[in-house]
């Protein structure tokens, strides 16, 4: 079974059930031996009984004894040894002195099936066995006695021989086949709920696990998990409402400050204030963009990524040059079609360029390159991103340098947009030093009807 792996719940249940079954069988066999096989009672060994029956043969005169086989079965027969044989046509054979108590039994021997007779009173003389064998000439019934056994081990073997096939084999099948199958079916709901838990997304409010799919014992755990998910969702909703409200409330003071700064006389002070106000405005817009991504699905359409890259580069080029950088754009003339939200993808390219301006060191070249396979790279010649930080830079409000000028939201916003477009984004080292951000979007060579992005 696929679930029967060491450490799994199904494996632990299966081997414990098997252990209980083995212990139950051992106790039952021990009880049988102690009940029927105590040292004061005698019995006829089943192997000797079969050998004596094999020494009796059919002949034209009736039944006769093969002395050689009988000598093998009972090499040194005691004086009390006897046996009687009868077939269902009335032919009989008697050897030795049959106890008076078994006279009626021998008289009706052809009607008696296999029997093991034990007694504590006169055990040596009265212990007897009836063996029935099928021969081509008919069924042969053989009764015997006077050769008692008292071995506990042989009695245990006798019990195992007769009951093993009826008990051990079914128990083995139940332990190895039926129990794992039953456990597997009982845990199907748990597996389904585990798949539901793995599919839960933070931005999917109200999602939970199916409490009806699990056993009653696991219900409290699943119910507690759903309650925790609801609390987390409520916390995120409260946080989203706060950020959206704060961003909206910032717009009016920013607009008023922009108007008043425009009235100030030109100079370094006004330039610095306008730069700080621009950063504040950018943070507010990024917060609103995050809220739009979480709450609204953008309308997808077919976009020429090559044309979009050139348009964004043209918009940002004055800022790149004013910051002291060289600027190069390498985008194919032929269209490279992708599907997505043009406004959101515009924000991705602009955020990567703004990040290069902020962290490129104020010198060198900022290069934009677009490949035919939908791969877009933005590189600079600054200090680069340490390898240990290359995943963390996409987290919200994360900064490589606390004193840096970035808001810590641009790269996070870019990653969220790229992921919603089924793409990937990563950072590594640029060929000439510095950082290179690579975005790969799936190319869409054929026009398709517009659909909503997830």
Domain of 101, in residue numbers: 46-149
Boundary-marking domain end, from 296, 317, 351: 296
Does residue 428 share a domain with residue 331?
yes
Supply the pLDDT for residue 13: 74
Considering its fold, how many domains does the chain have in total? Answer: 4
Query: Which residue ranges of the chain lie beneath pLDDT 50?
Result: 1-3, 403, 448, 450-454
Supply the pLDDT for residue 295: 57
| Phi, psi dihedrals of residue 429, rounded to the nearest 5° | -90, 140
Residue 193 lies in a domain: no
Does residue 175 share a domain with residue 34?
yes
Does residue 67 share a domain with residue 105?
yes
Supply the pLDDT for residue 290: 65
What's the rounded Cα separation, in Å, for the pair 447 and 335? 12
Does residue 374 share a domain with residue 232?
no
What's the rounded Cα separation, in Å, for the pair 348 and 410? 8
Residue 196 lies in a domain: no
Residue 181 lies in a domain: yes
Does residue 306 share a domain with residue 279?
no
| Residue 396, domain CATH | 3.30.565.10
Does residue 426 share a domain with residue 333?
yes
Supply the pLDDT for residue 399: 66
Does residue 302 share a domain with residue 420?
yes
Does residue 404 share a domain with residue 307?
yes
Supply the pLDDT for residue 410: 79
Does residue 285 share a domain with residue 170?
no
Residue 428 lies in a domain: yes
Does residue 163 share a domain with residue 91?
no
Residue 93 lies in a domain: yes
Boundary-marking domain end, from 228, 262, 296: 296
Helix (H, G, I), strand (E, B) or coil at 355: helix
CA atoms within 13 A on the CB side of 153: 0
Helix (H, G, I), strand (E, B) or coil at 65: strand
Boundary-marking domain end, from 296, 311, 329: 296
Summarised one tens digit per residue, pLDDT across range 396-446 is 776 666 545 555 677 888 888 898 888 999 999 888 788 999 999 998 876
Residue 4 lies in a domain: no
| Phi, psi dihedrals of residue 377, rounded to the nearest 5° | -120, 145
Q: How many CB atoms lie within 10 A of CB 343?
A: 12
Residue 195 lies in a domain: no
What's the rounded Cα separation, in Å, for the pair 29 and 161? 11
Structure tokens given for 390:
């290359």
138 and 92 in contact (C-beta within 8 Å)?
no
What's the rounded Cα separation, in Å, for the pair 185 and 205? 31
**58-82 burial: b if 16+ Cβ within 10 Å, else e:** beeeebeeeeeebeebbeebeebbb
Residue 450 lies in a domain: no
**pTM to 2 decimal places:** 0.46
Does residue 100 share a domain with residue 32?
no
What's the rounded Cα separation, in Å, for the pair 92 and 62? 8
Alpha helices in 263-404, H assignment, sequence order: 268-295, 305-322, 342-359
56 and 84 in contact (C-beta within 8 Å)?
no
Distances from the Cα of 245 to the Cα of 11, 152, 280, 291, 297, angstroms:
53, 88, 15, 10, 20
Does residue 176 share a domain with residue 141?
no
């Amino acid at each position: 079974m696929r679930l029967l792996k060491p450490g799994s719940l199904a494996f632990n249940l299966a081997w414990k059930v098997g252990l209980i079954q083995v212990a139950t069988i051992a106790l039952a066999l021990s009880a049988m031996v102690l009940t029927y096989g105590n040292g004061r009672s005698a019995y006829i060994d089943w192997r000797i009984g079969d050998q004596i029956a094999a020494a009796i043969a059919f002949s034209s005169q009736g039944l006769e004894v093969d002395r050689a086989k009988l000598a093998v079965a009972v090499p040194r027969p005691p004086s009390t040894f006897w046996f009687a044989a009868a077939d269902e046509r009335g032919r009989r054979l008697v050897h030795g002195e049959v106890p008076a108590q078994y006279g009626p039994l021998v008289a009706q021997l052809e009607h008696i099936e296999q029997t093991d007779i034990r007694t504590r009173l006169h055990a040596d003389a009265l212990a007897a066995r009836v063996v029935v064998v099928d021969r081509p000439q008919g069924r042969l019934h053989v009764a015997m006695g006077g050769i008692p056994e008292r071995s506990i081990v042989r009695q245990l073997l006798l019990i195992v021989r007769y009951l093993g096939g009826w008990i051990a084999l079914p128990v083995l099948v139940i332990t190895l086949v039926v129990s794992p199958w039953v456990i597997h079916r009982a845990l199907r709901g748990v597996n389904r709920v585990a798949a539901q838990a793995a599919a839960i997304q933070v931005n999917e409010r109200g999602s939970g696990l199916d409490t009806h799919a699990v056993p009653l014992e696991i219900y409290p755990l699943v119910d507690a998990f759903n309650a925790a998910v609801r609390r987390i969702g409520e916390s995120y909703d409260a946080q989203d409402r706060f950020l959206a409200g704060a961003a909206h409330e910032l717009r009016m003071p920013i607009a008023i400050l922009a108007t008043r700064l425009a009235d100030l006389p030109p100079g370094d002070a006004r330039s610095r204030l306008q730069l700080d106000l621009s950063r504040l405005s950018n943070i507010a817009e990024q917060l609103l963009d995050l809220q739009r991504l979480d709450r609204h699905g953008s309308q997808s359409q077919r976009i020429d990524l090559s044309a979009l890259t050139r348009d964004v580069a043209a918009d940002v080029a004055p800022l790149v040059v004013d910051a002291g950088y060289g600027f190069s754009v390498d985008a194919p003339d032929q269209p490279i079609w992708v599907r997505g939200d043009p406004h959101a993808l515009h924000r991705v390219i602009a955020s990567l360029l703004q990040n290069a301006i902020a962290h490129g060191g104020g010198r060198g070249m900022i290069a934009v390159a677009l490949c035919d396979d939908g791969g877009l790279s933005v590189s600079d010649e600054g200090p680069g991103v340490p390898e240990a930080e290359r995943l963390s830079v996409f987290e919200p409000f994360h900064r490589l340098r606390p004193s840096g000028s970035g808001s810590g939201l641009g790269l996070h916003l870019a990653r969220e947009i790229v992921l919603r477009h089924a793409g990937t984004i990563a950072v590594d080292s640029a060929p000439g030093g510095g950082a290179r951000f690579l975005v790969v979007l799936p190319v869409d060579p054929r026009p398709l009807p517009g659909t909503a992005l997830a």
